[in-house]
Amino acid sequence: MTKTQGEEDAQTALIQAIYEVAIDPHVYDRMVDLWGRHLLHTLGEDLQSPQDLSPEVAEHLLRAFEILDRLGRKEQPAAAPLDLQPSKRAELRLSQGGKILDASPLAVENLGATVGQSVFDLALSPESATRLNQQLGSPASNDIYVFFAKGDKHPFPMVRQIPSDAAGACDVILTALHNTWTEAHDQTLRQMFGLTVAETRVARELLTGATLPEIASVTGRSVDTLRTQLKSIRRKTYTSNQQQLVRIMTGLEALIAPESSACENTGRTDHVFLLPDGRKMAYRCFGPDRGLPCLFIHNMLNGPNFPAALVRDIHRLGIRLICPIRPGFGSSDPDPVTKAHPKEAPDRFCADVTAFLKHLGHARVVAVGHMSGALYAYRLAQLHPDLVAGVFNISGAVPITDMRQIRAMHYRQQVMALTARFTPRMLPTLLRAGISQIDSGGVEAFLNALYRRGTPDRAIAERVENRDMLFTGFRQIIQQGHHSFAIDSYHVVRDWSRYCDGLQQPVTLIHGATDPVVTEDSVGQFAARMGFDAEIHSNVGQLVLYHKGREVLQGLKELAGKTLG
């Protein structure tokens, strides 16, 4: 079909804006507006799959992404130099023969590593050296090897990981589980397992690969006394050999924070759990240690960040809010499988979180889904009915599949939803450019992008106690870029209602009547069709959790009290 002059001019303006936004984030609003007009024109009145989306426009959008990727916030591929990796830990990249191909600055500082030398020239425990030599050519991952720091000779465990781009034979990456052994590590062992000071010293020496006679000469104790202490250590840590003890001790390092080795009630500090495949999952906890355990599954905009008044109510009501940060968000490692296959995200997250809850000792929880986190809560309840006692979803806990739902959205959100639904290859450019706009424009750009002036959500977002909390939370959640945001966008505009099939647990949906993304009617209809309870708050929008926090938490407590016993 031949384009009119007006259509040609509009396409030219769009292409110009696509390239301008790469160097001037303030052009973003104009680019989204022009892209939205182009997309809506190709979709037509019925919002059907675009038949004549300009290949030229698509090519320019993808090229603009490459430019943004170079000029702006760039995610590092697995094969990038290690000093550019997001991780601030010591890291080594090894060939299959053990040659050091790359070393991060901390690996150089702590281990004395230099590119070109053999990893076996570094200080390793004899057991670790033997095992690493045997396993270099194998595809094994998540094994732990004990190195020793260059200066103080403290144990320096490193975990083996397989690069996310690996296919068959590949290089080996070793990542430190900590950078220095401190009193906090000793304190963690004592607090978690009840080890005495003397037993902690023995456990630490065992980690270095020392034998009992060698430990006896250092500590001045007899070998018989040390054997008795070793039996006690293994009994308390549920281990039967040194390698198991190494895994326990190095895994516990992930729990250590600057001021505390426990999951703090304030929730201000990210703690880390080492997943079975070696990825790290950050998490926060709020509320009393023995409170009603509720698993909070965050959305793609803010993560587990709450105003001080809400945290006080969590404590007052006796709720223990356990908040894992999903893969690729915040400081949690991305999942390479999900990155390549977005549809796998719910099941992969469920596998991660079951291991995480088992580690924390929770056999039964209420799953709380916030906005896009809702579909993960449903899936977890469906796959693990013995683990999930009930589901409590807040804001937009329904699939967005009906075009009437999309038409009811604010224009910016409508464009994003239609792009995710019909032209997902174009979504990364929009997301990356939006992040750049917020980077350059700060909190005002953030508020203007998400919450229209004059709406209940904007009024809540502009409150002093919420403004910086929301903005800081967003900056944290996107710190690794757009990929996880794109994965959630893929899911929310598709029919994931199958995750609700066969649920026997009670389900409560909390929703704000003026939510700009999901309508009140769609929530009511979905709840009626599925047999769920729905509680609609009038004169409240998507930020109902922050607007009606006390009432929402009271409802959560009631559900948890009934289902958890």
pLDDT at residue 254, rounded to an integer? 47
Give whole-number Cα distances, 378 to 231, 272, 501, in Å: 44, 24, 9
| Cα distance between residue 317 and residue 185, in whole Å | 33
Beta carbons of 222 and 199 less than 8 angstroms apart: no
pLDDT digits (tens, 9 = 90+) for 504-544: 999 999 999 998 888 898 899 999 999 999 999 999 999 99
User: Residue 412 is encoded by which pair of tokens?
Assistant: 């910016």
> Residue 366's beta-bridge partner residues?
294, 390
| Cα distance between residue 249 and residue 191, in whole Å | 12
Give whole-number Cα distances, 147 to 189, 208, 489, in Å: 20, 8, 42
Q: Would you place residue 486 in the very low, low, confident or very high pLDDT band (cuts 50, 70, 90)?
A: confident
Q: Average per-residue pLDDT in the chain? A: 78
3-state helix, strand, coil in the chain (%, to 5): 50, 15, 35
pLDDT at residue 220, rounded to an integer? 82
The domains found in the chain, sorted by start residue, are 5-72+411-451 (no CATH), 82-176 (3.30.450.20), 183-255 (1.10.10.10), 271-405+485-564 (3.40.50.1820)
What's the rounded mean pLDDT across residues 6-32? 74
- Residue 374: pLDDT over 90: yes
The residue type at 209: G
More confident residue, 334 or 180: 334
| Cα distance between residue 198 and residue 22, in whole Å | 60
- Residue 405: pLDDT over 80: no
- Residue 437: pLDDT over 80: no
Crossing angle for the helix pair 411-422 and 28-43, nearest 10 degrees? 60
What pTM was estimated for this model as a whole? 0.61
pLDDT at residue 28, rounded to an integer? 78
What's the rounded mean pLDDT across residues 459-480? 79
Beta carbons of 220 and 214 less than 8 angstroms apart: no
| Cα distance between residue 224 and residue 293, in whole Å | 44
Main-chain dihedrals φ then ψ at residue 365, nearest 5 degrees: -140, 165
Task: Name the 3-class secondary structure at 466.
Answer: helix
More confident residue, 265 or 115: 115
pLDDT at residue 390, rounded to an integer? 97
What's the rounded mean pLDDT across residues 257-261? 36
The residue type at 65: F
Task: Name the 3-class secondary structure at 517.
Answer: coil
What's the rounded mean pLDDT across residues 4-31? 74
More confident residue, 18 or 561: 561
Distance of alpha carbon 146 from the chain centroid: 28
- Residues contacting residue 513 through CB under 8 Å, at least 6 positions apart: 520, 536, 537, 538, 539, 540, 541
- Pairing state of beta strands 280-286 and 292-297? unpaired
Task: Name the 3-class secondary structure at 57.
Answer: helix
Beta carbons of 396 and 542 less than 8 angstroms apart: yes
As a residue count, the chain comes to 565
What's the rounded mean pLDDT across residues 249-271? 48
Beta carbons of 175 and 111 less than 8 angstroms apart: no
Give whole-number Cα distances, 487 to 154, 334, 370, 427, in Å: 41, 11, 16, 10
- Residue 406: pLDDT over 90: no
| Cα distance between residue 150 and residue 123, in whole Å | 8
**Phi-psi domain of 328 (left: phi exceeds 0; alpha: psi -120 through 50; beta: other):** left
Lowest mean pLDDT among 63-72, 103-112, 175-184, 312-321: 63-72
> Which contiguous run of DSSP H or E holds residue 405?
helix 403-407
| Cα distance between residue 342 and residue 326, in whole Å | 13
Task: Name the 3-class secondary structure at 157.
Answer: strand
Q: What percent of the chain has pLDDT over 90?
A: 29
Beta carbons of 11 and 56 less than 8 angstroms apart: yes
pLDDT at residue 165, rounded to an integer? 45
User: Residue 13 is encoded by which pair of tokens?
Assistant: 């303006």
Q: Would you place residue 384 in the very low, low, confident or very high pLDDT band (cuts 50, 70, 90)?
A: very high
Q: Would you place residue 349 in the very low, low, confident or very high pLDDT band (cuts 50, 70, 90)?
A: very high
Task: Name the 3-class secondary structure at 540.
Answer: coil
pLDDT digits (tens, 9 = 90+) for 228-247: 988 888 887 766 766 666 65
User: Residue 406 is encoded by which pair of tokens?
Assistant: 């999309």
- Residue 322: pLDDT over 90: yes
Task: Name the 3-class secondary structure at 519.
Answer: coil
- Residues contacting residue 9 through CB under 8 Å, at least 6 positions apart: none
Beta carbons of 301 and 538 less than 8 angstroms apart: no
Main-chain dihedrals φ then ψ at residue 95, nearest 5 degrees: -75, 170
- Residue 318: pLDDT over 90: yes
Could you write out the three-class secondary structure of 289-339?
CCCEEEEEECCCCCCCCCCHHHHHHHHHCCEEEEEECCCCCCCCCCCHHHH
Beta carbons of 564 and 366 less than 8 angstroms apart: yes
| Cα distance between residue 208 and residue 434, in whole Å | 49
